[in-house]
Structure 1
Amino acid sequence: MSQWPGLGDVKEDIQTPSLLLYEEILEENMQSYFRFARARGVSLRPHVKSHRIPELAQKQVKQAESGIMVQKLSLAETMVRHGLDDIVIVCPVVTQSKLDRLMWLAEQATISIVVDGYENTQALEEATEGHNQDINALIEVNVGADRTGSEPGQETAELGEYINSTELIKFSGVLAYDNHILYESSSQEEFCAMADEVLSKLKSTVDEIKRRDIEVPNVLAGTSGTSRQMCKESVVTEINPGRYLLNDASFIKHIDRVQKEDCAARILTTVISKPTSERVIIDAGAKTFSWMHHDQPVCVNDEELEYVDFSSEHGIIDTSDAQIDPCVGDQLEFIVGNIDATINLHSQAIGIRDGVVSSVWSIPTEGQCR
């Protein structure tokens, strides 16, 4: 049997560990989020870091009639080479070699880059002048995540004024990363209160910029976990969810509406050892699932089969409370803990429909972090 599956192969014949994407689930997730965005009157620009697959990005763009969002320059380059031509890059670019790459991209497609201060803005300005190439810029506003971001209100407005004075940088609006409220809130009431605070900061910032006679064409906010709350107010014009397409165990835990059946990304594994009656070992560890400990994988076959620990190539499964008794050679399927981290480890994803291989997608962005 070939190492790689062929179209029409049954799932049980796939060599493990393998990353599976259930096409019926991801298609429904894509449709339902698009319907939601359309009903709320906001644009949907999917963040593709959670799958990194150009073919899936093209499907999302065709449906939403929008562009995409990426984290890093290398992912943007790959997407442009696969025909995607409207991209927001959310990590600032500051070194000369990367700025040269960014200017090349801006010649090929509509590129928007995020800035959050004078230093990275001035580096961008020098690059545009050196290449005589214009580019769009969004200012990231720190709305509570305390990662990157300019402070709301006057500080962001002054930076917007500076950008507006440059010759080749086009001020395209503001962006807010608000996913902290999903993980830092301990109740629905607190979640809503934190979301309202984010919206208030965004509105006051937009108002401050407009008071300087500067238009704010776009206001971007809303992750897969927060978009529905971010759409409460008209200030947000575009949402940027990513993990909604595939979902993961973290979302099962933190978002009430996400259930096991909504998770399209699974790792197919094989039991390779049964040291005791209460422990089995599978062939998928950190190199398959990632080291991130946000939430452990969830077993589809039996949720009481608990993924308790891992090493590089081994997953340790506690079977003491399980309803089934897996044996050596049995396949077990797990919903990934965090899809963003898992997808970065794989060069291939296998589409499954009706229990057979329906697609085999290359992930040309595997491991790209520059």
Structure 2
Amino acid sequence: MKQPPLPLEEAQARLLALAAPLPIERVDVDGALGRYLAEPLGARRTHPATDLSAMDGYAVAAGDMAGPWQVIGESAAGHPFTGEVRAGSAARISTGAVMPAGAGAVILQEDIARDGDRITLTGEAPIPEDKHIRRCGLDFRLGTQVLTPGVHLGPAQIALAISAGHSHLAVRRRPRVVVLDSGDELAIDFDSCAPHQVPASNGVMLAAMARALSCEVERIGPVPDSMEAMAEALDRAGEADVVVTSGGASVGDHDLVRPALLAWGAALDFWRVAIKPGKPILVATKGRQLILGLPGNPVSSHVTAYLFLLPLLRALLGAADPLPRRIRTRLAAPMRAGGARREFLRAVWDGESATPQTVQDSGALAPLAASNVLIDRAARAPAAEAGDTVTVYLLENGGIA
């Protein structure tokens, strides 16, 4: 008996259960950008390593806030003052400079009048006195865990790792991905694309999505609709961690992905998910290899890659939370009642509300390219009005925070 299509969350959970993180390697911090930390990261130093000024001004002794003061030196960033500040004396100090010995406050330069080496208070003294001081260890101390395993290594995380004393980071090996698009209707020569053909865009699109996650990607295809051609293409993918096919995953006479995979020795885990677009999605395994069969319609291929391929690759890379990010927002325009399947509608989100695209056909790329969110609509959802709350997936940056 044919099994019904799986609910989205069950299908994602089954796929991710197959995805053991890849082996750990150590790379320099530049090479770690965009990947996921594989081990806890502890600070090898205290930061700041000593008390620093947070503003430009004058360092004075604690409790000596009325003035006047005699300027006895200067502490600049990278060039600390070697003397000591006492009552009645002050040191000129710049942002990021070391607080001189004896100093307990920084008075802003705009609150000071200077005449030669004599300064007087003309504005407000800081309250509390150490308001403009960055205390030693304000950011982190030696031995503190500054980053947790599975965190995405963006520019801020890379800067933090360097500040904590690390030049190399533990990450997972880059997944090797083979993208295989199939179909006699696909034209690789766009200048001679006949009316019965379409440009082969899916392979490029899927490869770009995988490369955005720091994967090593090889494209094969377009592959003709024959068992022989499909078998040859699959044999070329023998070293891949992930094989992604586009097209041929449905039930038509020319949909050869399933029989070709079975003949190749792959074991089918599940086929068909109760979503629109993208119902005929397929997941299979062959040894350590994971195979993801996506629909051929370009929007269906993109949506299913967003919901399945990107989470799979993040899981292999060791992401703590590989699923795409969802938020709640308001609807900017009415929506009709939903259909029998859960739908993902292309829409434009302006930061306050989402406007569904007028055209939702699974072959229409222009509305997809103009969208930055997918509206998640439950099966048989009632009609919605402008102002109603909806859940959306963020398409930008692959949906990660």
TM-score w.r.t. the length of structure 1 is: 0.28
Which of the two has greater helix per residue? 1
Which of the two has greater strand per residue? 2
If asked which structure has higher relative contact order (CA below 8 Å, sep 6+), I would say 1
Of structures 1 and 2, the larger Rg is shown by 2
TM-score w.r.t. the length of structure 2 is: 0.27
